Amino acid sequence: MTTTIKPTRTALIGIIVEDRESVERMNSLLHEYRQYIIGRMGVPHPNKPISIISIAMEADGDIISALSGKLGALPGVSTKTIYAKQ
């Protein structure tokens, strides 16, 4: 049996959290995908009740898309993903 290894991609998921009720589920998802996360930075907006989070990842494109989609489906959470060209 031959196993095909998919190439990984480097990506950044930008997250805006406007509903604090979604934070626990968001953190649970990030924990679930922790093996693919290179780093995370979160910054509360100084003048608005929102948080801005960036997640650097190295994973198969399907895994990155799955996490981004699950996060973006949470109430009050918006995401955008960008990929490295290499």
Q: What is the pLDDT of residues 18-56, one digit of tens each?
A: 999 999 999 999 999 999 999 999 999 999 999 999 999
Task: Identify the residue whose tokens are 């490295």.
Answer: 84
**Mean pLDDT computed over 57-83:** 97
pLDDT score for 6: 80
Listed in sequence order, the residues at least 6 apart from 42 whose beta carbon sits closer than 8 Å to its beta carbon are 51, 52, 53, 54
User: What is the spatial distance between Cα 53 and Cα 80, in angstroms, rounded to a whole number?
Assistant: 11
8-83: CATH homologous superfamily? Answer: ACT-like. Chain A, domain 2 (3.30.70.1150)
Task: Supply the pTM of this predicted model.
Answer: 0.90
Position 42, amino acid: G
